[in-house]
Amino acid sequence: MYRTIIYAIPFFAVLIACEFAWGCIRGRNTYRLNDFISNLSHGLLSQVVAVCTPFFQIGFYTMVFPFTAHWSNPDFWNSWIGVLTAVILFDFCNYWVHRAGHECAVFWAAHAVHHQSQDFNLSIALRQGSAVALLGWIFFLPMVLIGVPPKTFGIAALVLLLYGYWVHTEHIGKLGWFDHVFSSPSNHRVHHAINAEYLDRNYGALLVVWDKLFGTFAEERAACVYGTLKPLGSWNPLSALLGSYISLARTAWHTRRWSDKLRVWFKAPGWQPADMAERAAAQPPAADAARRYDPPLTHVQQWTAAAQLTLWLAAILVFLWRASASAFGANATMLGLTVAGLWLTGAVLESTVRVRWAWCVQAILLSLVATCVTQGTL
């Protein structure tokens, strides 16, 4: 299962290279090295987390399916029409988990990672929140209840994953009738925009028919501004992953009413209890969301961060290739090493760690990974 991502990497890499080249030729480059490294770091980290949490990926689905298999029709689900039906069902369920990811604070805390970049390019598709699957699995239970086999479910998920990649670009304009039926680059730019008229719109991953049915569709008109209303302002992957949860926990701790301590997790993102509203209003306003976080870097810092990401990419690909046979302890160890390594790369991009010290620690971390691989524990 994990090797599928490895097979897809050349496809992702070629399209990113083409988009970058086209942007340079047209004088509209949409890539920045620091943002690109951050996006790939989150993509790699999410894959390691997925190995450590198989129950939430497809394990629960597989566990429940035997109880519904007796009314499943294998001949139908193995046919092309069955697979197509599963893809549409998956897209429908995904619409609701995606909508929850924008309209419910605890789900937004997991999904926000995908929206934190202030650029918009194909690498954003790889910037996935590591905690999304831990919460989102419940939305796909209708598929197992009607008897969709795990294999067909997995194929549908893969189709949506691959389809959703190409819509993260600014270099493809409007596509006429296509934009009114399917998720497209134009529709998805709206989804990622923080313009007031675009907020919480266009959730469909394959079809925007769901958005039109449930009143969440918006057509691209004005130029899009990307990011989140409260900018992340960091290349630290831990800040990106945990910042929203920490904010929610802080509000839940300080508010007085026990009902509000619970409600803050399930209300809309940004909601504040009455006794916290004045405190929140007294805080200085967030930085201008349109101002890009882009601290200056020397050439040495740029090459260091790029080289470190490349080394971790190689290490994680080896890990994913062998992950199916790895024990949980080994997987958890790899997760800890990966978090530390990618945090250091982010610190280099933020100039909070000297390059030579970053290399010293990275050498230790990567040596530990290499030792585990050679000894067969990873």
pTM of the predicted model as reported, rounded to 2 decimal places: 0.92
Give yes or no for residue 280 having a pLDDT over 80.
no
The arithmetic mean of pLDDT across residues 199-219, rounded, is 97
pLDDT tens digits along 71-96:
889 999 999 999 999 999 999 999 99
pLDDT tens digits along 320-338:
988 776 788 888 999 999 9
197 token code pair: 């008229």
Q: What confidence tier does 281 reach under pLDDT thresholds 50, 70, 90? A: low
Considering 51-60, 68-77, 97-106, 368-377, the range whose residues carry the highest mean pLDDT is 97-106
The arithmetic mean of pLDDT across residues 189-217, rounded, is 97
Per the prediction, the chain carries an average pLDDT of 92
pLDDT tens digits along 234-270:
999 999 999 999 999 999 999 989 999 999 999 999 9
* pLDDT for position 286: 45
Q: What confidence tier does 57 reach under pLDDT thresholds 50, 70, 90? A: confident
* pLDDT for position 290: 61
Q: What confidence tier does 288 reach under pLDDT thresholds 50, 70, 90? A: very low
Give yes or no for residue 207 having a pLDDT over 60.
yes
pLDDT > 70: percent of the chain: 95
Q: What confidence tier does 60 reach under pLDDT thresholds 50, 70, 90? A: confident
The arithmetic mean of pLDDT across residues 47-73, rounded, is 87
The arithmetic mean of pLDDT across residues 288-308, rounded, is 89
Give yes or no for residue 20 having a pLDDT over 50.
yes
Give yes or no for residue 108 having a pLDDT over 90.
yes
* pLDDT for position 289: 52
* pLDDT for position 377: 67
Give yes or no for residue 356 having a pLDDT over 80.
yes
The arithmetic mean of pLDDT across residues 127-136, rounded, is 84
338 token code pair: 């990966």
Task: With CA atoms as reference, report the closest residue to 35 among 116, 90, 132, 129.
Answer: 116
* pLDDT for position 198: 96
* pLDDT for position 282: 47
Give yes or no for residue 184 having a pLDDT over 90.
yes
Which of 219-223, 271-275, 323-327 has the lowest average pLDDT?
323-327
